[in-house]
Structure 1
């Protein structure tokens, strides 16, 4: 037996999540719907290719101003 083993230990965070899921059984389905709204979208490869083609290289030193003509 492991000297540091804690039999039947459940952390406070796990207890909270389990009680939340028990109180609201539709929670996981609602989370999936919210994720689908914001993240699970089809990728428009044509738009991405156009955006990459239009990209302008950054100057080596961003804060350097153009030399002024005197």
Structure 2
């Protein structure tokens, strides 16, 4: 059974083969926007301080 490959995926794979310098640019962009160090204690504090949301936000009787 053949695996499906979209036109976009094929285009990107071929383009990156022709422009290998862009792989490094991709990594830089990812590090800039996504790969951030995580502060576990700060995340725990945020979770603990969260206020529970009412089941129906606009219900003023509860």
TM-score (norm 2): 0.71
**Shift of residue 40 of structure 1?**
0.9
2:40 maps to 45
Gaps of 5+ in 1: none
Gaps of 5+ in 2: none
Distance 1:54 1:25, change over 3 A: same
1:54 maps to 49
Structure with the larger RCO, 1 or 2 (CA within 8 Å, 6+ apart):
2
Distance 1:63 1:12 in 2: 46
Bigger helix fraction: 2
Q: Stretches of 4+ moved more than 6 A in 1?
A: none
* Larger-Rg structure: 1
